[in-house]
Amino acid sequence: MRRLWGDRGGRRSLLFLGTLLVLALGADLLASDLPLAVRLDGQTWWLPCLSRPVALQGRSLADAEWSWRTPIPWGPLQTVASTGEERPEPPPWAPDAHHWLGTDELGRDVAARLLHGARVSLFVAVFTVLISLGIGLLIGGVSGYAGGLVDAVLSRLLEVMQTFPLVFFLIALLSLIRVQSLWPLVLALALTRWTDVARLVRAEVLSLESREFVLAARALGASPARIITRHLLPNALGPVLVVATFGVGSAILLETALSFLGLGVAPPTASWGELLTEAHRTLHHPGAWWLALFPGLAIASTVLAVNGLGEAVRRSFDGRS
Amino acid sequence: MSRLTPLVVLLALAGCKGSGGVDAGSPGPDARWLQGALAPETGTPRDGGTLTVRLPLEPTGLTRLHDRFNEGTMVRLTVGPLYETLARAHDGQLTPLLAETWSETADALTITLRAGVKFHDGTELTSADVKATLDVVMDPAKPTAGFRAALDSLRSVETPDARTVVVRWSRPWFLARHTLLAALPVMPAHALQGDFDTLPIHRAPIGTGPFRFEKWEPGLSLSLVRADGRAHLDRVVFRFLKDEGAAMQAFEKGELGLMTRLTPSAWRSLETQPWAWQRSQRIFFEENAYAWLGFNQRKALFVDPLVRRALAMLYPAELVEKTVDLGLEPRTTCPYFPGSRSCDPSVQPLAYDPAEARRLLAAAGWGDSDHDGVLDREGVRFSFAFLAASQSVKMARLLPLFLDTLRHAGIEARIETVDVSAYLSRVRAHDFDAMALSWASADEVQDNFPNFHSSQAAQGNNYVGYSNPEVDALLERVRTELDADRRAALEREVHRRVYADQAYLFLGRRPALDAALRTVHGLKPSLGWYDLTAVWISN
């Protein structure tokens, strides 16, 4: 980690991604239609933006004795139906003092949706990578260590998975899944992402299993499971981390593409892909540049930062070796 | 990953597209253009040319007899020029078409067919073809329930000679005669033999219409060619273009002559395009169509009419009219042709009133007992999913607005998007909480029995499972009432009760929003779409 922080590119990427993570996790405290605290009808409500009490929903805060709004006083799902904003022209509205990044066709605040969308997109990306990492480590480790028939079967499975056209496979898989939550999407993405990790782990294990420390463990009577988990996988982890880091960027783009195709996160939940879909639907609005530009920038800069971090991780491992 | 990056960049750049706005120097569109009224025809029709028509969806089959296809507007538009009916309905009058004459007694209709009419495969039209078409419709084992429901008073069909058909009725019913003469497409008997589901005629129609089927390239287009001298056009090509943006670009380039079923936003966007005023005409005409949201009344959440009224009061109708429909789809409360005598003009739509909606929900026993921000009753949360077709641009805009107001009333609703075929399958299987649909008819005359009678909840069009014994009785009386005035009075009562019960959450009337290049002439819109025999193309 110290080596990574010492790398200028790595430090910048870590700072960017760290900030993004904080913003995403704190999205409810940063952008909400309900305040951080309010005193209304003689009662004080703390963090209603998190608890969302029915009694406060739809209530105007004009009657409040005092209220403490979130920095962006709009929720990600809040349309003109509940904001009550009236302007001569119907939305989309260009960026201004009220809506820093403008609104979409339904009057939803782009900044609020970007923040909340970051949480969804990062959740999908990170958990996709973690699950695919788990599958890849397990299959790659077992395949490399066991060899013989097990290796042959698992290697063919890996090759079969790799020959499937990725997006086609995901479209087919997601069309079959009825439950519209984030987890099926994460699992579907993870099912397509583990092969790179597995192939790499298998190669690392094959090169490590003849090393002295593995032979020593085997001579001491360690079980195959112990040898794989305690000796082989930890030593294969360096290159795997590099692939996994790149995988985060790839998963963000895949989630974006799937949401764009209507197979990702169910609308109106904000995700970066969903924001781009909205932008595409409103392309006939001349000059509504903010609808595609800000989500596009967010996706591009996050993927660049993740790739920068991946490069830094690789440099740090290269330096250590 | 690198292959996907350009997508993001391209989309970001697409958002920065130039304004394409109005050229200040050029005159704007005139009032007629803005209203969507066609300019009076000048010039002499000339034969030849191809009319390319954009359809937003591909028809699932090319027959109106089969239940799987007969509801689709796209099916109606594409097979319309291929088939003919015995008579043509226009302004409440029937004029002969395939029938030369007909005569009636109390329980029988005798039809004499026109001599010398041939199907597109060269076989001559005879009374056996009319009987074969009716036999298919009336066979309860066949998936033709749509037409069968409208003809269920038909007792027998006799064909004393090749040009005479005698139809006998078991009881009087206003719609049966009209359906037989003006709605039923006559098909050749020889093409109706075999397994009905897989008949080739469902994909390669053989009719007697002014155009004959040429080819269907799935996913791309459907071509019809002139069958005889009745039409001016050599060919009509229907191109299936789901993406409205791509269709608009093709229209601008002149690759499409007629744009059908535009969304309000695309129709309005033409106002800012100078090329559009100069080279095209917008067409606005009233159709017998309306859109509605349906709540599955088989589910405990939606059984109570009070709850359905509350949901209607949470629907931000004015906002939807302004932001989604752009003033082009006025709100309706009536399941009959708007403005007809069947609608009671005194029925006013429920106003958007969240406070009253909350009171109704509380009266129905809904409250937030566990303080989780969502209403609940007896341990059940007020949470449901809206089933939506992923291709529906209107629902993509309307539902987030409605969900926003529902959320503020403590109702948790989410959107479940599926593709069109899965959507229709699930609607027919009643596998939904809430959904949206439009009813469209090519005729002013209509029967709401299939839509609202409780007997139609299992297999008919009563997808929402609406049930009210009083409405059932009214719908039965409407069917047997032959006096038009008394029938209209009964239908007005149906209208009042269906709206009071909120059988549907009625949305808006659906006018046709089309656009055509100025080189396309002879377009005369009617409820049954355009008469393509009158259409011609100038240089």
Q: Calculate mean pLDDT across residues B356-364.
A: 95
- Least confident range of B42-51, B66-75, B269-278, B487-496: B66-75
- Least confident range of A159-168, A242-251, B11-20, B298-307: B11-20
Distance from CA of B280 to the nearest CA of A (A): 17
Residues 37-96 of A with CB under 8 A from B: 51-55, 57-58, 77-82, 90-91
Q: What is the pLDDT of residue B120?
A: 96
Distance from CA of B20 to the nearest CA of A (A): 6
Q: What is the pLDDT of residue B172?
A: 77
Q: Does residue B1 have a pLDDT over 70?
A: no
Write down the H helix ranges in chain A: 2-6, 8-25, 27-30, 48-51, 80-83, 110-146, 148-163, 166-176, 182-208, 212-219, 224-226, 233-260, 272-281, 290-320
Tell me what the pLDDT averaged over chain B comes to: 89
Which residue did the predictor score with more confidence, A241 or B19?
A: A241
For chain A, give the percent of residues with pLDDT over 90: 30
- Quote the CA–CA distance of B272 and B252 in Å, as a whole number: 13
Q: What is the pLDDT of residue A101?
A: 96
Whether chain B has a CB inside 8 Å of the CB on A293: the answer is yes
Most confident range, picked from A109-118, A233-242, A254-263:
A109-118
Which residue did the predictor score with more confidence, B13 or B406?
A: B406
Q: Calculate mean pLDDT across residues A297-309.
A: 90
- Quote the CA–CA distance of A141 and A133 in Å, as a whole number: 11
Q: Calculate mean pLDDT across residues B349-368.
A: 94
Q: Calculate mean pLDDT across residues A100-125.
A: 93
- When computed from its CA atoms, the radius of gyration of chain A, rounded to whole angstroms, is 24
Residues 187-216 of A with CB under 8 A from B: none
Distance from CA of B5 to the nearest CA of A (A): 7
Is residue B277 within 8 Å of residue B29, measured between CB atoms?
A: yes
Distance from CA of B537 to the nearest CA of A (A): 28
Q: What is the pLDDT of residue A132?
A: 92
Q: What is the pLDDT of residue B5?
A: 38
Q: Calculate mean pLDDT across residues A64-76.
A: 92
Which residue did the predictor score with more confidence, B327 or B211?
A: B211
Q: Does residue B12 have a pLDDT over 70?
A: no
- Quote the CA–CA distance of B121 and B213 in Å, as a whole number: 10
- The token pair at A9 is 């590119």
Whether chain B has a CB inside 8 Å of the CB on A179: the answer is no
Q: What is the pLDDT of residue B297?
A: 97
- The token pair at B301 is 């959440």
Contact A106 B8 (CB under 8 A): no
Q: Does residue B93 have a pLDDT over 90?
A: no
- Quote the CA–CA distance of A278 and A259 in Å, as a whole number: 10
Helices A290-320, A272-281: crossing angle, 10 deg rounding: 150
Phi, psi of B377 (to 5 degrees): -150, 125
Domains and CATH numbers, chain B: 29-60+209-286+512-537 (3.40.190.10), 83-193 (3.90.76.10), 288-509 (3.10.105.10)
Strand partners, A31: A72
Which residue did the predictor score with more confidence, B475 or B69?
A: B475
Q: What is the pLDDT of residues A24-58, one digit of tens each?
A: 999 999 999 999 999 988 889 899 988 888 778 77
Q: Characterize the bridge pairing of strands B412-418 and B383-389.
A: parallel
Q: What is the pLDDT of residue A285?
A: 62
* Residue whose entry in the numeric block shows the structure tokens 């020889």: B190
* Residue whose entry in the numeric block shows the structure tokens 């892909």: A273
Q: Does residue B11 have a pLDDT over 50?
A: no
Contact A253 B4 (CB under 8 A): yes
Which residue did the predictor score with more confidence, B442 or B300?
A: B300
Secondary structure (DSSP) of B462-513: -TT----HHHHHHHHHHHH---HHHHHHHHHHHHHHHHHTTSSEEEEE--EE
Q: Calculate mean pLDDT across residues A261-269.
A: 77
Is residue A74 within 8 Å of residue A270, measured between CB atoms?
A: no
- Quote the CA–CA distance of B469 and B476 in Å, as a whole number: 11
Q: What is the pLDDT of residues A177-215, one digit of tens each?
A: 655 678 888 888 888 888 988 998 899 888 888 888 888
- Quote the CA–CA distance of A54 and A40 in Å, as a whole number: 14
- For residue B247, the chain A residues in CB contact (below 8 A) are none
Confidence of residue B20 (pLDDT cuts 50, 70, 90): very low
Q: What is the pLDDT of residue A82?
A: 86
Contact B374 A296 (CB under 8 A): no
- Quote the CA–CA distance of A278 and A104 in Å, as a whole number: 8
Q: What is the pLDDT of residue B398?
A: 94
- Quote the CA–CA distance of B354 and B286 in Å, as a whole number: 32
Tell me what the pLDDT averaged over chain A comes to: 85
Domains and CATH numbers, chain A: 111-320 (1.10.3720.10)
**Kind and range of the H or E run holding A68:** strand A66-68
Distance from CA of B398 to the nearest CA of A (A): 9
Mutate to test the interface with B, among A28, A33, A43, A54 (most CBs of B within 10 A): A54
- Quote the CA–CA distance of B160 and B345 in Å, as a whole number: 48
Contact B15 A105 (CB under 8 A): no
- The token pair at B217 is 């390239």
Interface ipTM: 0.76
Q: What is the pLDDT of residue A286?
A: 64
Q: What is the pLDDT of residue B281?
A: 94
- Quote the CA–CA distance of B254 and B52 in Å, as a whole number: 10
Contact A58 B408 (CB under 8 A): yes
Secondary structure (DSSP) of B7-25: HHHHHHHHHT-------TT
Q: Calculate mean pLDDT across residues B115-129.
A: 96
Confidence of residue B338 (pLDDT cuts 50, 70, 90): confident
Nearest CA to B209 out of B79, B346, B42 is that of B79
